[in-house]
Amino acid sequence: MSTTLGAARTVRLNDIGVVFTVTILEPDPADPTELIVKDISAATVLEIILQKPNPDLTKVVKTAVFSTDGTDGKITFTSIAGDLDFAGRWSLEGEVTLPTGQFRSDRDRFDVEEIIE
């Protein structure tokens, strides 16, 4: 999986406009030890699930969109006010629903840092 967080993997508390992009991969039929991009263009549900580093490990499900047309396996969402409201190490993963089932990306992590005031 790849996760795009703009120029850096660390963001600041309450940042707005951070672009999160994940790629859904699947085993290569020719070589199951290798991963290839999954065509998700027929997906009906696109989500990126965030897990906060708070004591309850709260999960937040964000509706995602295709980065292009879905044939590249990429989905994305952009943070808005209130999304990145807790400092610490966050987790995220993508999930799509296709006619053949649900598929998830690998889990990735990123840091949200306090703002120096």
Instruction: For the chain, list the domains and their CATH numbers.
Output: 10-113 (2.60.40.10)
* Residues comprising the chain, all counted: 117
What's this model's pTM, rounded to 2 decimal places?
Answer: 0.87
What tens digit of pLDDT does each residue of 57-88 get? Answer: 999 999 999 999 999 999 999 999 999 999 99
Give the Cα-Cα-Cα angle 37, 107, 58 (nearest 5 degrees).
Answer: 140
Token pair belonging to 56 = 């309850």
Q: Can you tell me which residue has the tokens 């600041």?
A: 12
- What span, in angstroms and rounded, lies between the C-alpha atoms of 63 and 51? 15
- What span, in angstroms and rounded, lies between the C-alpha atoms of 111 and 94? 18
Residue 106 CA to chain centroid, in angstroms?
9
Query: What percent of the chain is modeled with pLDDT above 90?
Result: 87
Residue 1: pLDDT band (50, 70, 90) is very low
**Cβ–Cβ under 8 Å, residues 14 and 103:** no
- What span, in angstroms and rounded, lies between the C-alpha atoms of 9 and 5? 6
pLDDT the model gives residue 10: 72
